[in-house]
């Protein structure tokens, strides 16, 4: 191979790989990314069933009910709207009524219940997920204590 | 009083850093030896000052001096001593001071061990180190002063976040910082080379040990952090693709690429400009990581400190250093002569492939990490980019590299023979396929991809050993001769083989856990049995206990196999009194390389409790592989060539002079 051909082979290979990577990233962004919503946004969002989203808000006081032990139902609220959620598994240590929570999962077709497979409540008793704090603040909900927003 | 001294020492360290960042450069320009030599002593003085400052803060923690705001916020008089000490860096201010301490430590190392460096290069390197040190000292003094006082002093502290009260936290950040910040030396070398406008194979020889040391520590730090998250958070996960994890993973990927490209530069004088760029990028990613973690732009388990002024300050540091370095690079890169031609199929070609894939993979991780932040800033939409994204992009992109790894060391420099290399890897490929078939048979089928993944791991391990085995002539010559040759191989050959073996081991662990772990969530009452991974767990009941600064409810489980008791597991939920914060202390038992992992949920009316039981097959391979990679780093570092051969620029000139005289 001549010098020029060698250089072409290397550059060509590199550009090909990079193109593949860019396409892959774009595809992954369209497929494997979950958008964040608070209950008040859902009506406008018009989601297709089984679309994975993250639902954030406060765990409504008095809404936590344990079913047959493993399955828990609770409601997530942003004070404008409330969404019932079911989750099977162990809730995080800091899951409490009145505290911020983010549930990841999807709505099943024809049901208003959000089926979560992951529930996040971060490791700090005064912690509120930043997403939730921002949205709640935008909607005029006052959060107790200055340290609530971390 | 002592606290004020610590604060004052930090101010003096800033002054020293400022001197160190200007005068040696002037000295190099003017050819003033005194100013040039100042760099080394300034670096050591700086290190002593920061060490003193750090020691003072540690003293405040150990003696529970709550008149210091930082101690009050993060400590408690009842906390065990080890966590009082590790609490020093379990918060924003202390953690930044540790960052600075390690930076100063590396500068001092360059100053004391860089004796065979040319004077001017050393002075330039230390000056660049001092720029970084000055910026971060200023940051600490202006926005994150750990020595701020509280008047009046409270009687008791607010305690350290209980999740962080763990031996893992005592070790993880220092190791991680040794890695992250260690790459600053490579960065400084790159900037110094650009300032001098001269770069050659000797430069790569000087940089490689630093890159290797930093990489080894970073490997250890990441593995430690991953294990810590695994056992402490109680979710049974070992990697979350959390932005904070990515922040440490990106410098690791770029650093790995740097190690490989520096090799090409050292041996063949090729890829010079690229290597300099990689050195800059690797530390830039470390700075970016510091920004992501310390500024609070992220929502993440790790972000335990947030303040917008800090964010802007670090962002400014980031922009100045990365922007400045890249501009300097753009101006000066054309002055650097490139050299060393090679065919696409050659050792160099393989290393270029390695670099291409690693940097592309780094770029995808970077995109996935920053995209949500950028999108939110631009459109207000909030998205979460998690494991599915990274598996699809990073995972797929890395796949060809895993196949290619064993080929690299088997190809010759300049022009290699792919067919011959493939022929030598015949055994490794065969063994990998055979192993995959055996796993498939033993598990009665199962996911084909997982089986192939494990086969790939076996191929990686055997393929990496192939080079060492062939070079010592096993199978070709008599055993004793081969063994003698084996012992005579350069340490770096073992380093290469070991690092690649480690990669294979980690791969096997990841595949096995991902494909074959079982998870059972079940409501248990005392006496009930649950099966997991061939073992049977009996729940015996709950017991209350109390530690120095917490109370706990512990569940007791008896593990048996085939009716015979094997071991017991205690899993507990703790409530830390000072912060009223609950944590899960998972019960973990190791069986060979696999683990049983039990964490407790809520108690249910009627005496039962929700229990989550995982069987994690071969999970220890994940971190075991990382340990092997670390060992590889240490073995390579001990190679004589790195130390003895280092001053080759000087000797080459000497030889030329000697040759001319003859």
DSSP secondary structure, B540-593, as one string: EEEEEEE-SSEEEEEEEEEEEETTEEEEEEEEEEEEETTTTEEEEE-EEEEETT
Q: Is the pLDDT confidence value at B376 over 80?
A: no
Instruction: Pick from B144-158, B248-262, B296-310 the range whose average pLDDT is largest.
Output: B248-262
Q: Is the pLDDT confidence value at B303 over 50?
A: no
Q: Is the pLDDT confidence value at B645 over 70?
A: no
- Chain A residues near residue B228 by CB distance under 8 angstroms: none
Length of chain A (residues): 150
Q: Is the pLDDT confidence value at A101 over 90?
A: no
Q: Is the pLDDT confidence value at B465 over 60?
A: yes
If asked whether residues A69 and A115 sit together in one domain, one would say: yes
If asked whether residues A23 and A10 sit together in one domain, one would say: yes
**Segment B220-270, tens digit of pLDDT:** 999 999 998 898 877 788 998 988 889 999 999 999 999 999 999 988 888
Residue B117: which of B655, B648, B652, B662 has the closest Cα? B648
Average confidence (pLDDT) over A25-52:
84
Chain A's closest residue to B300, CA to CA, is A122
Chain A's closest residue to B343, CA to CA, is A6
Q: Tokens at residue B256, please?
A: 């790995």
Peptide bond into B181 cis (omega under 30): no
Distance set, CA B381 to CA A45, B144, B176, B307, B311 (Å): 12, 31, 33, 23, 21
Average confidence (pLDDT) over B361-371:
94
Of A14, A68, A125, the CB nearest to B581: A125
If asked whether residues A18 and A75 sit together in one domain, one would say: no
What pLDDT score was predicted for residue B309?
A: 75
What pLDDT score was predicted for residue B298?
A: 67
Kindly report the nearest CA distance between residue B92 and chain A, in angstroms: 13
- Chain A residues near residue B384 by CB distance under 8 angstroms: 33-36, 54, 104
Between A131-135, B496-500, B584-588, the lowest mean confidence (pLDDT) is in A131-135
Q: Is the pLDDT confidence value at B407 over 60?
A: yes
- Is residue A127 a known part of a binding site? yes
What pLDDT score was predicted for residue B84?
A: 92
- Choose from A29, A44, A118, A121 for mutation: most chain B CBs within 10 A: A29
- Is residue A37 a known part of a binding site? no
- Choose from B164, B166, B344 for mutation: most chain A CBs within 10 A: B344
Distance set, CA B563 to CA B538, B592, B617 (Å): 11, 20, 21
Asked if the C-beta of B396 comes within 8 angstroms of chain A's C-beta atoms, the answer is yes
Per-position DSSP letters for B32-81, written without gaps between them: -HHHHHHHHHHHHHHHHHHHHHHHHHHHHHHTT-TTBHHHHHH--TTS-H
d(CA B319, CA B287): 10
Asked if the C-beta of B380 comes within 8 angstroms of chain A's C-beta atoms, the answer is no
For residue B623, what pLDDT band results from cuts at 50, 70 and 90? very high
Taking all residues of chain A, what is their mean pLDDT, rounded to a whole number? Answer: 77
Which of 540-569 (B) contact A at CB < 8 A? Answer: none
What pLDDT score was predicted for residue B336?
A: 74
Domain extent, residue A2, equals: 1-33
Between A127-136, B66-75, B527-536, B603-612, the lowest mean confidence (pLDDT) is in A127-136
Taking all residues of chain B, what is their mean pLDDT, rounded to a whole number? Answer: 88
For residue B447, what pLDDT band results from cuts at 50, 70 and 90? confident
Asked if the C-beta of A90 comes within 8 angstroms of chain B's C-beta atoms, the answer is yes
Q: Is the ipTM of this complex over 0.85?
A: no
3-state secondary structure of B596: strand
Q: Is the pLDDT confidence value at B450 over 70?
A: yes
What pLDDT score was predicted for residue B287?
A: 94
For residue B587, what pLDDT band results from cuts at 50, 70 and 90? very high
For residue A140, what pLDDT band results from cuts at 50, 70 and 90? low
For residue A31, what pLDDT band results from cuts at 50, 70 and 90? confident
If asked whether residues A26 and A94 sit together in one domain, one would say: no
Number of domains chain A is built from: 2
Report whether B23 contacts B41 (CB < 8 A). Answer: no
Residue B113: which of B231, B209, B257, B32 has the closest Cα? B209
If asked whether residues A28 and A55 sit together in one domain, one would say: no
What pLDDT score was predicted for residue A118?
A: 84
Instruction: Pick from B303-312, B544-553, B641-650 the range whose average pLDDT is largest.
Output: B544-553
Task: Look up the CATH number of the domain holding residue A50.
Answer: 2.40.50.140
For residue B193, what pLDDT band results from cuts at 50, 70 and 90? very high
d(CA B298, CA B288): 12
What pLDDT score was predicted for residue B259?
A: 95
Q: Establish how many alpha carbons lie within 13 A of residue B110's alpha carbon, considering only the half-sphere containing its beta carbon.
A: 37
For a pLDDT cut of 90, what percent of chain B falls above it?
57
**Segment B46-75, tens digit of pLDDT:** 999 999 999 999 999 999 999 999 999 888
Of A6, A13, A90, the CB nearest to B612: A90
If asked whether residues A66 and A96 sit together in one domain, one would say: yes
Q: Is the pLDDT confidence value at B300 over 50?
A: no
Q: Tokens at residue B528, please?
A: 């009930």
What pLDDT score was predicted for residue A143?
A: 44
Q: Establish how many alpha carbons lie within 13 A of residue B305's alpha carbon, considering only the half-sphere containing its beta carbon.
A: 23
Of A14, A29, A131, the CB nearest to B356: A14
CA angle at B486 for the pair B482 and B487, rounded to the nearest 5°: 125
For residue B560, what pLDDT band results from cuts at 50, 70 and 90? very high
Report whether A95 contacts A121 (CB < 8 A). Answer: yes
If asked whether residues A8 and A40 sit together in one domain, one would say: no
- Chain A residues near residue B385 by CB distance under 8 angstroms: 29, 32-33
For residue B655, what pLDDT band results from cuts at 50, 70 and 90? very low
Q: Tokens at residue B661, please?
A: 């005289």
Average confidence (pLDDT) over B177-186:
95
Average confidence (pLDDT) over B286-303:
71
**Segment B475-504, tens digit of pLDDT:** 777 778 888 888 888 888 999 999 999 999
Q: Which secondary structure element, helix H or strand E, spans residue B608, and what is its range?
A: strand B608-616
Q: Determine, for residues A28 and B388 on separate chains, whether the beta-carbon distance falls below 8 Å.
A: yes
Residue B206: which of B319, B328, B321, B121 has the closest Cα? B121
If asked whether residues A40 and A19 sit together in one domain, one would say: no
Q: Is the pLDDT confidence value at B169 over 70?
A: yes
What pLDDT score was predicted for residue B659?
A: 40
- Chain A residues near residue B388 by CB distance under 8 angstroms: 28, 31-33
If asked whether residues A16 and A57 sit together in one domain, one would say: no
If asked whether residues A44 and A110 sit together in one domain, one would say: yes
What pLDDT score was predicted for residue B181?
A: 95
Between B306-310, B434-438, B588-592, the lowest mean confidence (pLDDT) is in B306-310
CATH number of B1-165: 1.20.120
Q: Tokens at residue A43, please?
A: 């009506």
What pLDDT score was predicted for residue A134?
A: 63
Of A1, A36, A93, the CB nearest to B583: A93
If asked whether residues A53 and A100 sit together in one domain, one would say: yes
The b/e string for A108-135 (b: 16+ C-beta within 10 A; e otherwise) is: eeeeeebebeebbbbbbbbbbbbbbbbb
d(CA B341, CA A2): 11
Q: Are strands A53-59 and A65-66 parallel, antiparallel or unpaired?
A: unpaired
Q: Determine, for residues B573 and A93 on separate chains, whether the beta-carbon distance falls below 8 Å.
A: yes
Virtual torsion, Cα B175, B224, B366, B508, nearest 10 deg: 140
Between A116-130, B530-544, B601-615, the lowest mean confidence (pLDDT) is in A116-130
Kindly report the nearest CA distance between residue A136 and chain B, in angstroms: 14
If asked whether residues A49 and A73 sit together in one domain, one would say: yes
- Chain A residues near residue B368 by CB distance under 8 angstroms: 25, 28
Tally Cβ neighbours within 10 Å of residue B344: 21
Residue A120: which of A144, A148, A85, A146 has the closest Cα? A85
What pLDDT score was predicted for residue A19?
A: 92
For residue B653, what pLDDT band results from cuts at 50, 70 and 90? very low
Distance set, CA B535 to CA B230, B290, B560, B562, B590 (Å): 21, 44, 6, 8, 12
Q: Is the pLDDT confidence value at A146 over 60?
A: no
Kindly report the nearest CA distance between residue B437 and chain A, in angstroms: 31
What pLDDT score was predicted for residue B656?
A: 42
Cβ-Cβ pairs closer than 8 A, A with B, add up to 125
Of B303, B580, B608, the CB nearest to A125: B580
């Amino acid at each position: 191979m001549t010098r020029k051909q060698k250089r072409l082979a290397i550059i060509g290979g590199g550009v090909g790989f990079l193109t593949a990577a860019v396409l892959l990233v774009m595809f992954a962004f369209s497929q494997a990314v979950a958008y964040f919503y608070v209950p008040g946004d859902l009506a406008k969002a018009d989601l297709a069933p089984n679309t994975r989203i993250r639902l954030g808000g406060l765990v409504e006081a008095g809404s936590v009910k344990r079913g047959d032990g493993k399955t828990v139902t609770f409601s997530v609220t942003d004070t404008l709207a409330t969404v019932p959620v079911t989750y099977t598994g162990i809730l995080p240590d800091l899951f409490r009524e009145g505290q911020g929570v983010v549930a990841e999962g999807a709505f099943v077709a024809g049901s208003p219940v959000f089926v979560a497979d992951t529930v996040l409540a971060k490791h700090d008793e005064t912690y509120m997920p930043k997403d939730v704090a921002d949205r709640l603040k935008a909607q005029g909900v006052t959060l107790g204590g200055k340290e609530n927003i971390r | 009083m002592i606290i004020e001294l610590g604060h004052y020492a930090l101010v003096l360290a800033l002054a020293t850093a400022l001197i160190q960042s200007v005068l040696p450069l002037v000295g190099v320009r003017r050819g003033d030896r005194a100013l040039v030599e100042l760099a080394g002593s300034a670096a050591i003085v700086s290190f002593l000052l920061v060490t003193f400052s750090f020691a003072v803060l540690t003293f405040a923690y150990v003696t529970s001096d709550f008149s210091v705001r930082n101690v009050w916020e993060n400590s408690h008089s009842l906390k065990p001593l080890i966590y009082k000490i590790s609490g020093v860096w379990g918060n924003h201010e202390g953690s930044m001071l540790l960052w600075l301490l390690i930076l100063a430590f590396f500068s001092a190392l360059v100053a004391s061990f860089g004796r065979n460096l040319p004077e001017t290069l050393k002075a330039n390197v230390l000056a660049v180190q001092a720029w970084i040190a000055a910026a971060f000292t200023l940051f600490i003094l202006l926005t994150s002063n750990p020595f701020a006082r509280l008047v009046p002093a409270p009687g008791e502290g607010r305690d350290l976040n209980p999740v962080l009260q763990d031996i893992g936290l005592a070790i993880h950040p220092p190791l991680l910082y040794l890695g992250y910040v260690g790459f600053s030396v490579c960065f400084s070398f790159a900037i110094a080379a650009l300032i001098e406008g001269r770069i050659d194979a000797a430069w790569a020889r000087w940089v490689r040990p630093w890159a290797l040391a930093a990489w080894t520590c970073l490997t250890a730090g990441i593995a430690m952090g991953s294990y810590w998250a695994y056992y402490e958070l109680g979710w049974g996960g070992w990697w979350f693709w959390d932005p904070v994890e990515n922040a440490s993973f990106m410098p690791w990927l770029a650093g790995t690429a740097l190690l490989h490209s520096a090799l090409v530069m050292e041996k063949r004088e090729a890829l010079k400009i690229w290597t300099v760029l990689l050195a800059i990028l690797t530390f830039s990613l470390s700075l970016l990581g510091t920004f992501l973690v310390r500024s609070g732009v992220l929502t993440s388990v790790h972000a335990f400190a947030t303040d917008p002024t800090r964010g802007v300050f670090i962002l400014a540091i980031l922009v100045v250093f990365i922007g400045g370095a890249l501009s300097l690079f753009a101006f000066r890169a054309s002055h650097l002569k490139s050299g060393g031609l090679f065919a696409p199929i050659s050792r160099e070609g393989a290393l270029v492939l390695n670099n291409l894939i690693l940097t592309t993979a780094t770029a995808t991780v970077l995109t996935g990490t920053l995209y949500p932040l950028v999108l939110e800033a631009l459109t207000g939409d909030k998205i979460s980019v998690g494991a599915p994204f990274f598996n699809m992009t990073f995972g797929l992109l890395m796949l060809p590299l895993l196949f290619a790894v064993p080929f690299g060391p088997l190809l010759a420099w300049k022009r290699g023979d792919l067919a011959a290399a493939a022929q030598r890897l015949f055994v490794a490929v065969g063994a990998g396929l055979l192993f995959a078939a055996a796993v498939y048979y033993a598990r009665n089928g199962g996911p084909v991809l997982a089986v192939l993944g494990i086969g790939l791991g076996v191929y990686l391990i055997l393929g990496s050993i192939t080079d060492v085995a062939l070079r010592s002539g096993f199978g070709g010559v008599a055993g004793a001769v081969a063994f003698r040759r084996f012992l005579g191989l350069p340490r770096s050959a073992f380093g290469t083989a070991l690092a690649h073996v480690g990669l294979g081991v980690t791969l096997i662990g990841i595949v096995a856990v991902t494909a074959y772990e079982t998870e059972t969530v079940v409501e248990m009452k005392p006496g009930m049995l649950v099966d997991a991974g061939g073992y049977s767990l009996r729940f015996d009941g709950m017991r209350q206990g109390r530690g120095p600064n917490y109370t706990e409810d512990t569940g007791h489980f008896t593990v048996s196999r085939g009716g015979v008791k094997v071991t017991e597991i205690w899993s507990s939920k703790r409530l830390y009194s000072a912060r009223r914060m609950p944590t899960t202390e998972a019960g973990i038992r190791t069986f060979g390389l696999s683990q049983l992992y039990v964490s407790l949920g809520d108690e249910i009316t009627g005496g039962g409790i929700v229990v989550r039981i995982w069987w994690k097959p071969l999970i220890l391979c994940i971190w075991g592989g990382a340990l092997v990679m670390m060992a590889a780093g240490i073995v390579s570092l001990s190679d004589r060539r790195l130390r003895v051969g280092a001053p080759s620029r000087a000797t080459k000139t000497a030889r030329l002079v000697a040759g001319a005289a003859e």
